Amino acid sequence: MSADEVEILDREAAYHGFFRVGRYRLRHRLYGGGWSAVLLREVMERRAAVGLLLYDPRRDAVVLVEQFRLPAHLAGFSSWQLEIVAGLVDRGNEAESDVARREAQEEAGLAVEGELVPIHRLLTSPGGSTEAVTLFCGRVDAGRAGGIHGLAAEHEDIKVVVKSYAETVRLLREGGIENASTMIALYWLAANRAKLRRLWR
């Protein structure tokens, strides 16, 4: 089905704080024909995001970041999540690749070498949020990685973690990675690592 088979009848702001929540009245076409009943739905409306997998092909190492995540804590997962570098796209004409490079510097203190390799564009929670994430892979020198980073104005306390590819895959398979975007990026790396190492030789 297409977008013209959805009718938004009304929208109001239900909440506007760190996140925004919109309340919608709508109906949509049914597979069997006709229209659905009028539905009431709340949606968390969030800006587009970018995730960047930092990989060092010479050392065959992955650079990840670890930071406190309240939703993970409340959901019974690890309170400190091991993740790829990520951030929100500022309103305006900011390119996603520029966001990725900026976040690599802010969260990991690293400059990305050369062009970024696109991985995927995905919805994090299509039943509840508008957030879309564009994933990239970037080449870095893991020998320069380490320390605590983040913006003080945003109360960020981000630790850089460097792991060999083998260690990362083992951690992934043992459930040590719980963030969906990070999992997708690492499974992509597992499928494309040989080609990536030839490309970045």
Round the average pLDDT of the chain to a whole number and report it.
Answer: 95
* pLDDT cut 90: percent of the chain above it: 90
Tokens found for residue 23: 């309340």
154 catalytic per annotation: yes
Identify the structural domains of the chain with CATH numbers, from first to last: 3-45 (no CATH), 49-199 (3.90.79.10)
Q: What pLDDT band is residue 91 in, cutting at 50, 70 and 90?
A: low
Catalytic option among 103, 113, 154, 167: 154
Q: What pLDDT band is residue 150 in, cutting at 50, 70 and 90?
A: confident
Q: Is the pLDDT of residue 201 over 90?
A: no
Q: Is the pLDDT of residue 152 over 90?
A: no
| Per-residue pLDDT tens digits for 48-70 | 999 999 999 999 999 999 999 99
Which amino acid, one-letter code, is at 114?
G
Mean pLDDT of 28-46: 96
Q: What pLDDT band is residue 154 in, cutting at 50, 70 and 90?
A: confident
Mean pLDDT of 68-87: 96
